[in-house]
Amino acid sequence: MPPLRTALLQSSGTPGDIAKNLEILDAHAADAAAAGAGLLVSPEMFLTGYAIGDGIHRLAEPADGASAQAVAGIARRHGIAVVYGYPERDGEQVYNAAQLIGPDGTRLANYRKTHLFGCFEQEWFTAGDEPVVQAELGGLRVGLLICYDVEFPENVRAHALAGTELLLVPTALMNPFQFVAEKLLPVRAFESQMYIAYANRTGPEGEFDFAGLSCLAGPDGIARTRAGSHGDDLVLADADPDFLAASRAANPYLSDRRPALYGSLTR
């Protein structure tokens, strides 16, 4: 099975301007596809911006809204799957969400962030309650988490046990938490034996300063590619199912688990 070349878009786009952010996504999808990528992952809340206050509710859309249709057009035009972060409206609730659109424009998966970070997110969003959302893409089982979610080992392990091979994580990691991108992400990939694609925002926005350092970490705990700590970037690396299978065969973490001992973790 051939590797899935994965492109990570590191950018904060233009906060508050959906049309401009769709233009940016379109341009980078073209570049990624030209470089042989089958998947483009953009950051958390890329569609609208993150630190936009009540703009979050004003710009929120349903999962099948106009912006989803626009991203589907981008995916079809360039023949590349796209993950994008956005505020999802469902009735009176607004979720911090990420959606995966297939290369033919089909909506493959939609995930709502389950662990909201800090007072800002807790004020503006409702937490999701579905921990594992997956889809099949390019011969791999891919899963979705968002930023803070991946910092909980239980979340990543749940994906590993459900068969996720490539975990896609749109992110808005802020300074001074650079160690999450630099240290924690490769460890998560190693301990749960999967690839993790982590696409971050960058630079100042409102009260936040985003840390960049987008990366794709492999099951050996090594980052295959990494963007810098400042500035927009598009970086690419392969998620190789054959390497993953060999790594899982050599690393006994998943097979050596003793679940009967862990009941106290959920009590």
Q: Which of the four pLDDT bands, split at 50, 70 and 90, describes residue 267?
A: confident
CB neighbourhood size of 180 (10 A): 20
Nearby residues of 137 by Cβ (< 8 Å), 6 or more positions away: 4, 38, 39, 81, 100, 102, 108, 166
Catalytic residue IDs: 44, 113, 147
Nearby residues of 58 by Cβ (< 8 Å), 6 or more positions away: none
The amino acid sitting at 232 is D
**DSSP assigned state of 3:** -
CB neighbourhood size of 23 (10 A): 14
Residue 266 in this model has a pLDDT that exceeds 80: no
Could you read off the pLDDT of 219-237 as tens digits, one per residue? 999 999 999 999 999 999 9
Residue 53 in this model has a pLDDT that exceeds 90: yes
Q: Regarding the domain with residue range 4-251, which homologous superfamily does it belong to in the CATH classification?
A: Carbon-nitrogen hydrolase (3.60.110.10)
